[in-house]
Amino acid sequence: MPDYQETLNELEITLAGRQEEALVSIPTVLEVTDEPEDRYSRLRLIPWWDQDRLRSARVMVVGAGALGNEILKNLALLGVGGVFVVDLDTVEQSNLSRSILYREADEGAPKAEVAAARVREINPDVRVRALRGDISTDVGLGVFRAVDVVIGGLDNREARLAINQACWKVNRPWIDGAIEVLHGVARVFVPPDGPCYECTLSSVDYRLLNMRKSCSLLNREQMLSGKVPTTPTTSSVIAGIQTQEAVKLLHGHRGLPTLSGKGFFFNGLTHDSYVVTYTRREDCPSHDTFEDIREVHAGVANTTVACALGWARDALGPDAVLELGREVVTAVVCRACAKRQSILRPLARLTEADARCPSCGEMRALEMTHTIYGSEDFLDLTLAEVGVPAFDIVTGRSGWDMVHFELSADREEALGDIA
């Protein structure tokens, strides 16, 4: 039988030696250990760690489901100063097996708001803005521009594409995550020159996207409710990698290696993992990056379409048009009855009942636009009334020349106390 005490002594000597080595090779540790212990003192022992950088950072988390819960928990523990969380849904009992931030009593409450409250509870240093809404229609581009990095905890390609295009437009990196049973993937997309999410889509992805687009225009919620089995264990692995990548991106000045343009694939059955490097597709349609963004002191609720078109013409001449970035439905047409009815509604707010023909009950075709030429009959409506979300960016265009106008007066309303 080995002499325990002797073994322990040896171990202590070895450890002490290693510690000395560590202290010698990383002298900053010596300085830090003199500081009083606080919430972040163990993090500050990491030589490249910059807690002030994290405290001044803003991170958007899209989706507060299994991945979003873990991401938000990690951001709270790390003391990331400003968090913007978006989710459309309410808490259900079935979320409780994979969502550390939710309790039984939260059933029926908006996920974004409950998650925000729990983040504040975990760490009062973190300011959180919750938005119950849809990422593709309710979050202005100014919000994307105001954050340092976007992290996705999503379960559908449509929302990923929306985030991807928004991030490219305002030049902000985003970190995608996906989980299914015990498998998962985390990947990092960095504009303007890296491969983007759409560059990674296969022909199968496109087929699924188009299939859903063609039949889901009016009952998106039904189409998005496809349930994928997920576990809290795999979600914590993938969300851990996503948050770690966010921390590294926020420490960009330290030159740390990241998963930029790459995907980390994890097989939870075997615990094998591998990293793939994506290629940028030069014909990919999602690589628009806004060059000239001007902050205008106006908001969507009190700016008319005519007024915004005026900004475009002042900047680019009388032939300029205004691009809204979102579709506005201008009419519905019944092919069976050969009848056309004018309506004016943002596509996102059109219901199935609006689109059914009142005479024959068939689904009617939609006429839509996102370009304003100046002859429209709705020029005196406000941008909000045609579906432009608060703190969005609208675009003036004349030929290839473009100027982008951020509705900066909405900043406080959109960002709340992380403004």
Can you read off the two tokens belonging to residue 21? 């080595």
> Is residue 222 classed exposed, middle or buried when 0-12, 13-18 and 19+ CB atoms within 10 A define those classes?
exposed
- According to DSSP H, which parts of 4-130 are helical? 4-25, 28-33, 41-44, 51-55, 66-78, 111-122
Strands 149-152 and 262-267, by their bridges, are unpaired
- Touching Zn ion, residues 268-297 (CB under 5 A): 284, 286
Stretch that binds Zn ion, among 253-261, 313-321, 328-336, 381-389 (CB under 5 A): 328-336
Is the Cβ of residue 13 or residue 343 nearer to Zn ion in the bound state?
343
Is the Cβ of residue 15 or residue 360 nearer to Zn ion in the bound state?
360
Rounded-to-integer distance, Cα 294 and Cα 313, Å:
14
Stretch that binds Zn ion, among 27-35, 57-65, 233-241, 326-334 (CB under 5 A): 326-334
Helix H or strand E segment including 315: helix 305-316
Q: Count the residues of the shown chain that bind Zn ion, applying the rule CB under 5 A.
A: 11
Say if residues 415 and 139 touch (Cβ distance below 8 Å): no
Rule CB under 5 A: is residue 188 a binding residue for Zn ion? no
Helix (H, G, I), strand (E, B) or coil at 220: helix
Strands, E assignment, 63-211? 82-87, 127-132, 149-152, 174-180, 183-189
Is the Cβ of residue 357 or residue 419 nearer to Zn ion in the bound state?
357
Rule CB under 5 A: is residue 198 a binding residue for Zn ion? yes
Stretch that binds Zn ion, among 89-97, 195-203, 229-237, 343-351 (CB under 5 A): 195-203
Rule CB under 5 A: is residue 209 a binding residue for Zn ion? no
**Minimal distance, residue 357 CB to Zn ion, in Å:** 3
Say if residues 322 and 308 touch (Cβ distance below 8 Å): yes
Can you read off the two tokens belonging to residue 214? 């063609």
**Minimal distance, residue 287 CB to Zn ion, in Å:** 5
Which x/- pattern over 148-187 shows residues binding Zn ion (rule: CB under 5 A)?
A: ----------------------------------------
**Minimal distance, residue 358 CB to Zn ion, in Å:** 8
- Touching Zn ion, residues 331-390 (CB under 5 A): 334, 336-337, 357, 359-360
Binding site for Zn ion (CB under 5 A): 196, 198-199, 284, 286, 334, 336-337, 357, 359-360
